[in-house]
Structure 1
Amino acid sequence: MPIMIENINAQTITPALGKNPRQLYEHQEEAIRKLDAMDKKGSFRTLLVLPTGGGKTLTAVYWLLRNAVDQNKKILWLAHRHLLLEQAAEAFARNAYTDTMVNRTVFNYRIISGMHDKPVHIQKTDRILIASKDSMIRSLDKLKNWLNGEEIYLVIDEAHHAVAKSYKKIIQYVADHAKSMKLLGLTATPFRTSEDEQGALKQVFTDDIVYKTDLDALIKKGILATPKFKKWNTNLQFTEHLGVKALKSIENLDMLPENIVNDIAGSKERNRIIVDEYINNYEKYGPTIVFALNKNHAITLNALFNEKGKKYGIKSEFIISEVQDMITGITISNADNERKIEAYRNGEIQVLINVNILTEGTDLPKTHTVFLTRPTVSTTLMTQMVGRALRGLKAGGTKEAYIVTFIDNWNDKIAWVNPETLTEAEYHEKETLAETQKQQIRLIAISKIEEFARMADAAVDTSALDSTPAIELIPLGMYMLSTLECNHQILVYNSTQNAYQSLIRDLPNLMEHYSIEGETIPEETLDDMTEHCFQSYFDENMIPSCNRNDIEHLLKFYAQKAVAPLFVTIDEMERKKLDVSEIAKRIYDEDMRRSEKNAYIQSLWAEEGSLLPVYYTNPYFFKKLIDLELDKLDGDIEIAAAEPQTEAELRNLEQLPLQKIIELYPKIGLQLKEDAFAAARNDDGSYVCAGCGEVFPTRLFLQVDHIVPMAKGGLSVPDNLQVLCRTCNQRKGDH
């Protein structure tokens, strides 16, 4: 008798008898009334806009259960992240009650993604498909039979990304093959994009916004708590060995290299700062969720919290997933996690430490504070972490929520998401002009590229730099690139403005020339396109010059969205206020004594509403720049040849070619080679080529090679090594 395995990604739901105990708030009920009116149309394409914490998913699910599932209509729910898929599935299962569903006694859903079920398993009888955008775009033909002759409700979560070509292709496919399509987009930030992106979004959602409310309104109603932000600068540096490869991994995947993670997690000074901040303010912070870097970090912090909190009656626990625990050899079951969460919920413990488990889904309304001890470049993850503390009084939470961030010194190499600027950018659309300018300059300051930081750091050893006015080193503004993978800002100076404008104007022809039709550009092609763009539009002698990484991001953005990006400018008057040469000129003209000069500089820095500390971030750094300008005015600067700056790229051993491993670590490398040959031997002791199958009595004409080439991400590990004859190896190299 065959062994049957449960497929947890395809579930049949039987609605519970009675009324759903989860009652909607006034704004959600109003949204449903607006959706009801919209639903009377034969088809529609509209947006539902609610801030994070405002219940977008619950509102949509509540409405769809009654208007679609109960009416035997089908739902295709799309998102681009696995967690969003699981959250939607849980919402459908938890909110199925007979007071909403009077006609259907059962219904089913199926989750489709690289981590869940596969498109090939879609059944025509599935009522709800909750699918990743990537899985669907690769398997649209698997939808045809499911769509045929049906009325479809198509929901797009994080709908501000719906201008991407893949989303538009799926929408068109559904419209072409369904009997009728009703399109509902869910988002908190619909129009914080360029005019081109706004126009593209309005072309997708032609019925505009069906309902919208903002954070301020929900805070006033007590549904959401008022966030109170505190930044703790540790002044610790972890960038000494941060190479180009690591920077790209962080920027694109939000993954810190393991050695740096371990350095941060193992920093006794940093961990002491985190724990002391809570212990010294435990009455204010109350029930607190701590987001740690990894398992070892969670365990270390937990021990410190319990040790230092013992005399105050403060108890701490940590939760980590069972799969992750296998790495450290620690076994903690899901039941253990649930027990600890329940103890936190009941007030038996005050601090709950986790590694990305409590970003969403778990209901912990009494949480008063979150400690963000791990940095992230993901706005989605940051929003989810902050959201754990935003339950307001009416929602069983608190009036105020504390968001405490622990910031290390990364030398402006990485634009980590700042939770304060994130909420400002997402919610405060009625901010004053001054607040808007301050926000823009803060974003530019966060995004300063390493080249500019070096220039400003007393790098007075090039004649080209000396002859460049200080105002030219202040950006005119920046391009804001928001893709499905990450957010990126390109700083634009007088030197590069025309080049970028020309490049953006020519992007359609460039994509056509390189035959880029999909949303992703192959890595080899991207390198070639980037170099072509740099050589065609930019110049190494530009001061500041263009960063090739910025060109990469621009190409990726355009391949995905096919629109010009948003350009945020700095007001010219505000830009002049940042010009340190003007400050230096006044000091020079008035012949200020040292004490007068220092007092003047300090007054500028401390002036209420000043943008100087927002942009320059550090008073010492600011003063150093002024001194540089004074030296220029005095003519005291000696010109010297610039020294080249180098930084070695860091790679894991398994990312190196086998021959390089043999050179550096002969024992490890030679063992890998011997194991590959041993695996290629047959029963007669001869060697079999993995390519053509020819048998060789000796190793003389055989070579160890990668199955998946290193150029495509292959590693020098036993499972990815094979033995080939020279002919097969040469043929493989040609392809």
Structure 2
Amino acid sequence: MEDTFVEVKSNGTVSAKQGSNSRTPYEHQRKAMECLDIIDKLDDYSTLVVLPTGGGKTYTASSWLLKAALNKHKKILWIAHRQTLLDQAAESFQKFAYAENLPNVLSFKYRIVSGSTDHDRTIDIESSDNLLVASKDSLGRNLPALDSWLAGEKEVYLVIDEAHHSTAKTYRKVIDYVRDRVPHVKIIGLTATPFRTADSEQGLLSKIYTDGVDSGKVVKDNKGITYKIDLKTLINRSILSRPIFERCSTEEGFGDNLGKDDWDRISHLDLLPDDIAGQMADSAVRNKLIVDTYKKNENTYGKTIIFAVNVVHAVTLAKLFNKAGVKAEFIVSDVKDAVTGVTISSKDNEKKLESYRNGDTKVLINVNILTEGVDLPQTQTVFLARPTVSTILMTQMVGRALRGTRAGGTAYAHIVYFIDDWDAHIAWVNPESLFVDEEANFSDSPIEHQKHELRMIAISKIEEFAAILDDSIDTTAIERVPFEKRVPIGMYAFTCLEENGMDHSYQVMVYDSTQEAYEDMMEALPALFMDFGVDEEFVEEETLMDMQKQIADTFFTGEMIPPYEESDIIHVLMYYAQYEDIPKFYTFGDIDKSKLDVAAIAKHIWDEDMGPKKKAEYVDSIWDNTDDNMLRLFFGRKVYFWRQLDIEMMKLSSPDIFEDEPNVNYGRRDFEDMSLYGIGEHAPDYEKELRDSTFEKSMNEEGLYVCAACGYENENRIPFQVDHIMPLNKGGKTVPENLQILCRSCNAKKGDKL
């Protein structure tokens, strides 16, 4: 009978290799291990180790854990969010399992767990496994699978790879689950991107990683970093290559007619709209430039990784390179592309990676799949054929070519980036900015900080400026508001994870008109999620819409100009669902609003009685010659600035310009015959007054709101909705005496019944 089993690499027993490890750790890796020795004297801790891409964080951590944990019969749970990271970790433990690191054990058992068919499942976990390398999602869906593995353990090491993702709820659930069952948990977060781990950051990462080492001493509940080294230091030590930056202008224009949603997708999600990505992928001129640039310097560039815009772009470039006589392959995610029909599995990708490693393939083209975890030290050059607004993504892309001579790489790394003609509002990351002085990564100068704030505000104003230029859109209400009131006072800035592990950034602009509503909303978020019974990290779309409506009805009533955006509320809800925390609010205190005071500029032109020619010359002078370019940064396009200036000039010449001149005698409908929403469209302040008075009369002596039907009490407005005692469709009126509050459950049961 034939064998009924097959050998798999997802689990097994690793025997200690005899002899010594031929690989000697570099100085920074040795120091990182020494610092880990220092903090490991604590019974439990949570700390970060920050090593740039190419700095050997997986090697450093696995080598230290072999001796510090496995050699002492301590279990290790290693968590990551991608299959390649899991494989790389397991391979590192196997590769460096020498007897000198394991003098007290002859072998150890390992297991890799994820949703991949190449890996084991959570139900396969055995209590005898010494090293468990698992995806955070597989564990998050079946945490009890860890029970037998954790049972009886007094101390466990918990390692989180790519730790900048670990603030998501699933990671925190795993951390809490392990801590609840093991007296002493030692948490080590590994990250190659220091941008979220600055000493000054007061975010969610600092709540997870609280312990560190400073000047050879343990610092608890303060600095969450045990060891950190920057890119420039490793370059000077020849651990990483010295980058040579080459800028190639495509002279191709994209995105001239993008709307606000498109800007949001780019600026917040780092996603190009499909039509723009398609234009870039199909641009024969752009693609020819990419291929020709490589061909001209083929011997210098050598093995090259290209980051493409999308799958179509990757496939197209591979064909063009091969046609030009350069052996090229493309790798994409384990999915079928609807446009190209291309299906590439992880096994196909591995074959192509191996062809690249052994030199058969010279150019490897991908779509973000080579940003984390894949070890390709032979890479000499990176072509950045896609733009990004993400500093982290840029760091990871550039890092693919930074393996220095002492690490088996090259002395120099060529970073070739292709610049398109985009609107100046998009703050694309320049790869050269990654190599400025270290402090610049963590604390921008006041001028640079101010420019960054202005870019964020400008992006949020694009739709408003464009609408004012569009004669088919009535923008009278927004034009009435003084211009300085239309400049945000600050923003909520935060990042959300998608279920595929990608993180997306959002900025929610807050104005004088919406500030109080947002503050009340943030305070009520815990009560909202409790009332809706939501505990999932990723909330269903229908539930998100219901929650958004409840928030809007409760807090965002009354006249708000500029208004709030429903999508902003939904993004805040997504963030809270994942992190159970309120996003951080940043004030725009560094911005000198007087330099954006269009009304003052108009007044100066009016007082000086400038004619058309003198006015045009003056506008040109302040647009072109402003030292800090605040006007240019804020408005982006000169036509937007001119239109705002014309509006302010009209206010001076005709103060009643925005007063309507009625020429029709319309019929009338009394407010009492309209719904609250209907009233809100015409008299938002009166709608707010009706809602507020209804809540006030529904409060008991203890200061609690009370449902008129079931008597449910709560100090927060969130669980309640304003209801007509006598429904409108049965003759009821929208007047104070016919309004009451009901909890959401009672209101749903009542409907239009009496």
TM-score by length of 1: 0.73
Looking at structure 2, the residues matched to 249 and 609 of structure 1 have their Cα atoms a distance apart, in angstroms, of 28
Question: Aligned residues, how many?
Answer: 629
Which of 581, 587, 602 is 1:569 aligned to?
A: 587
Aligned residue for 1:339? 355
Shift of 1:563: 1.9
Q: CA deviation at 1:555?
A: 0.8
The CA deviation at 1:554 is 0.5
> Is the 2:84–2:374 Cα contact (8 Å) retained in structure 1?
no
Determine the C-alpha separation between the residues in 1 that align with 2:271 and 2:446: 36
The DSSP-based 3-state class of the residue aligned with 1:525 is: helix
Partner SS for 2:328: strand
C-alpha displacement at 1:415, in angstroms? 8.8
2:173 aligned residue (163, 169, 174): 169
% of aligned pairs identical?
Answer: 40
Summarize the alignment of residues 628-639 of structure 1 with structure 2, pairs less than 5 Å apart.
629-630=648-649, 632-635=651-654
Give the whole-Å Cα distance in 1 for the aligned partners of 2:275 and 2:619: 44
Change (3 A) 1:417 1:559: farther
* Most deviating of 546-555 and 370-379: 370-379
Kindly tell me: are residues 544 and 143 of structure 1, through their superposed partners in 2, closer, same or farther at Cα, counting changes over 3 Å?
same
Residue matched to 2:451: 438
Give the whole-Å Cα distance in 1 for the aligned partners of 2:579 and 2:21: 40
1:137 aligns with 140
SS of 1:388's partner is helix
- Structural mapping, 1:268-347, within 5 Å: 268-275=284-291, 288-305=304-321, 315=326, 317-320=328-331, 327-328=341-342, 334-335=350-351, 337-343=353-359
Listed one character per residue, the Cα deviations across residues 350-394 of structure 1 (whole Å, up to 9, x for unaligned) are: x44234443344444464543333456776654432321334565
Alpha-carbon distance, 1:479 to partner: 1.0
Does structure 1 residue 186 correspond to structure 2 residue 190?
Answer: yes
| In structure 2, distance between residues paired with 1:387 and 1:170 | 30
Alpha-carbon contact 1:287-1:369 (below 8 Å) kept:
yes
* 1:210 maps to 2:226: yes
User: Displacement of 1:436 after TM fit?
Assistant: 2.8
For the residue of structure 2 that corresponds to 1:41, the secondary structure is coil
Structure 2 residue identity aligned to 1:87: Q
- Residue 565 and residue 281 in structure 1: after superposition, are their counterparts in 2 closer, same or farther (change >3 A)? farther
User: 2:616 is matched with which residue?
Assistant: 597
Q: Residues 259 and 463 of structure 2 are in contact (CA less than 8 Å); yes or no, is this contact kept in structure 1?
A: no
Instruction: Indicate whether 1:490 and 2:535 are aligned.
Output: no
- For the residues of structure 2 that align with 1:620 and 1:632, how far apart are their CA atoms? 19
Would you say the 8 A contact 1:194–1:567 is kept in 2? no
Deviations 1:555-588 (A, max 9, x none): 1111222222112222254343344444444444
SS in 1 for 2:132: strand
Contact 1:365–1:391, Cα closer than 8 Å, also in 2 = yes
Aligned pair in 2 of structure 1 residues 455, 256: CA closer, same or farther (>3 Å)? closer
Contact 2:380 2:414 in 1 (8 A): yes
**Equivalent residues in 2 for 1:55-134 (5 A)?**
55-115=56-116, 116-134=119-137
Amino acid at match of 1:389: A
CA contact (8 A) 1:10 1:109 kept: yes
CA gap 1:365/1:335 in 2 versus in 1, 3 angstroms: closer
- Tell me how far apart the structure 2 counterparts of residues 617 and 53 of structure 1 sit (CA, whole Å): 38
User: Which whole-Å deviations, capped at 9, do the CAs of 1:179-205 have from their partners, x for residues lacking one?
Assistant: 532122223323589746366335698
1:387 match: 399
When residues 194 and 341 of structure 1 are mapped into structure 2, their CA distance, relative to the original with a 3 A threshold, is closer
Contact kept, 8 Å, 2:244 with 2:412, in 1: the verdict is: no
What is the CA-CA distance between 1:144 and the residue it aligns to?
1.0
Cα separation, 2, equivalents of 1:233 and 1:575: 36
Q: Does the 8 Å CA contact 2:650/2:657 hold for their aligned counterparts?
A: no
8 A contact 2:446–2:590 mirrored in 1:
no
Alpha-carbon separation, structure 1, partners of 2:575 and 2:333: 37
Higher mean alpha-carbon deviation, 114-123 vs 156-165, is at 156-165
Structure-2 change in CA distance of 1:44 and 1:357 (3 Å): closer
Aligned with 2:208 (options 193, 201, 205): 201
Q: 1:235 to 1:177 in 2, by over 3 A?
A: same
2:384 is the alignment partner of 1:372: yes
Q: Deviations over 1:292-329 (max 9, x none)?
A: 2445423422444466x67xxxx352233696689338
Shift, 1:122, TM fit: 0.4
Is the counterpart of residue 266 in structure 1 residue 270 in structure 2? Answer: no
Change (3 A) 1:142 1:363: closer
Partner of 2:726: none
Aligned residue for 1:448, secondary structure, equals helix
Instruction: Determine if contact 1:481/1:553 at 8 Å carries over to the other structure.
Output: no
Q: Which residue of 1 aligns with 2:740?
A: none
Whole-angstrom distance in 2 between the partners of 1:52 and 1:524:
40
Asked if residue 156 in structure 1 is aligned to residue 163 in structure 2, the reply is no
Distance 1:178 1:503 in 2: 37
| Aligned pairs (5 A) from 1:538-687 | 538-539=556-557, 541-571=559-589, 573-590=591-608, 591=610, 594=613, 597-598=616-617, 601=620, 604-605=623-624, 607-619=626-638, 621-623=640-642, 625-627=644-646, 629-630=648-649, 632-635=651-654
In structure 2, the residue matched to 1:514 is 532
Aligned-partner Cα distance in 1 for 2:130–2:120: 15
- Report deviation, 1:137: 2.4
Contact 2:269/2:505 (<8 A) preserved: no
| 3-state SS in 2 of match to 1:70 | helix
Structure 1: which amino acid aligns with 2:11? A
TM-score norm. by structure 2 comes to 0.71
One-letter amino acid of the counterpart of residue 142, structure 1: A
CA drift of 1:72 comes to 2.3
Matching residue of 2:522 = 504
Unpaired runs of 5+ in structure 2?
A: 213-219, 499-503, 661-754
Q: 2:466 corresponds to which letter in structure 1?
A: R
Q: Is the 8 A contact 1:193 1:565 kept in 2?
A: no
Say whether the 8 Å CA contact 2:291–2:321 is kept in structure 1: yes
What letter matches 2:359 in structure 1?
A
The offset of 1:100, in angstroms, is 3.0
> Bigger CA drift: 361-370 or 39-48?
361-370
* Paired letter, 1:181: V
Structure 1 residues 319 and 162, CA, compared in 2 at 3 Å: closer, same or farther? closer
Secondary structure of the residue that 1:153 maps to in structure 2? strand
Which whole-Å CA distance do the structure 2 matches of 1:168 and 1:183 have between them? 12
* 1:184 partner letter: I
Q: How far apart are 1:537 and its partner, in Å?
A: 2.0
Contact 1:477–1:491 under 8 Å retained in 2: yes
Deviation string for 1:672-717 (max 9, x for gaps)? xxxxxxxxxxxxxxxxxxxxxxxxxxxxxxxxxxxxxxxxxxxxxx
Equivalent residue for 2:483, pick from 465, 470, 474: 470
Do 1:477 and 1:492's aligned partners in 2 also have CA atoms closer than 8 Å?
Answer: yes
Distance 2:631 2:186 in 1: 50
The code of the aligned residue for 1:597 comes to A
Partner Cα distance (1:289, 1:627) in 2: 50
- Quick one: distance in 1 between partners of 2:630 and 2:55? 33
Amino acid at match of 1:514: F
Q: What is the match of residue 709 of structure 1?
A: none
- Assess, with a 3 A threshold, how the Cα gap between structure 1 residues 220 and 540 changes in structure 2: closer, same or farther: farther
Structure 2 counterpart of 1:152, one-letter code: V
